[in-house]
Amino acid sequence: MAAIIEARGLSKSYRSTRALEDVSFSVEPGRIVGLIGPNGAGKTTALKAIVGLTHVEGELRVLGLNPRTQRDQLMHDVCFIADVAVLPKWLRVRHALDFVAGVHPRFERSRAESFLARTSIRATSRVRELSKGMVTQLHLALVLAIDARLLVLDEPTLGLDLIYRRQFYDTILNDYFDKERTIVLATHQVEEVEHLLTDVIFIGGGRIALASSVEAIAERYVQLTVAPGEAARARALHPLYEREVFGRVSLIFEDRPASALAGLGEVRAPSIADLFIAKMQARPPGGAGDGR
């Protein structure tokens, strides 16, 4: 089955700042991919390239199309949401539905209205009259009503409290995602989304530090927690990263069999959050971030 996204050697500069540097990755159909990186890592630049909003050097195909030259055709099958604050404050809810219905051929207005009927949002309300959580619900109504093959989310819950962040992701997962759809989610809040993901792409300083399925992470990386007295023996096996936690030492190893570590302490697969920190701090990608 053809990949939904194929990126090879993507590079982008903003004046003297290198936003992307030789970035390559692919996204298969029916996957939930986390594009994870700190602020200024290049996440937004990569997503804008995917939906044809910025030009990049290199080769990029999305749904078999060139995002820059075939954007109108591409957006028939793509839904892109940036920040929850992007809707104009003066816009009324019903006019937001009117607008999306007019620009997206796969928008089903009745589905959006059905979702909003389960909330306290009134069709006559202006965006400025809604709380951040209600704006999130409005975004969800718009997303759930679009029958898109690819959903691209750029920090969609930024600035929201934990309850609304959890509601947003749970609704996307339960009411929208299926094996016919693919989701690419950019975030720096790793712990909140790692249970959703099938694949991860770690990015920092405009470079890819890791692109892997979640299943492969458990096969390639091992986390070992030892008492301080065993730390020297563990370090002799060349860990990728280590830190002290509650008086014990936690080390992450790459391509080291768990059987070779079992006698030293507690062995388990690292969480995506722990592995992300290890990759960012142990082998920081070169170049400065783009601030985007």
Longest dimension (CA), the chain: 67
Describe the strand order of the beta sheet including 266-268 as a list of residue ranges. 241-245, 248-254, 221-226, 266-268
Please name which of 203, 166, 170, 161 lies closest in space to residue 34, comparing C-alpha atoms. Answer: 203
Residue with tokens 């949401």: 81
Residue with tokens 């965006």: 127
Those residues whose C-beta lies under 8 Å from the C-beta of residue 42, and which sit 6 or more positions away, are: 12, 19, 20, 23, 203, 204, 205, 206, 207, 289, 290, 292
CATH superfamily label, 5-213: P-loop containing nucleotide triphosphate hydrolases (3.40.50.300)
Please write the tens of the pLDDT for every residue from 77-113: 999 887 656 789 999 999 999 999 998 889 999 999 9
Q: Crossing angle, helix 132-144 and helix 109-116, to 10 degrees?
A: 150
Please write the tens of the pLDDT for every residue from 216-266: 998 999 999 999 888 999 999 999 999 998 889 999 999 999 988 988 999
Phi, psi of 246 (to 5 degrees): 50, 45
Q: Which helix (H) or strand (E) holds 231?
A: helix 231-235
**What pTM was estimated for this model as a whole?**
0.88
pLDDT for residue 292 is more than 90: no
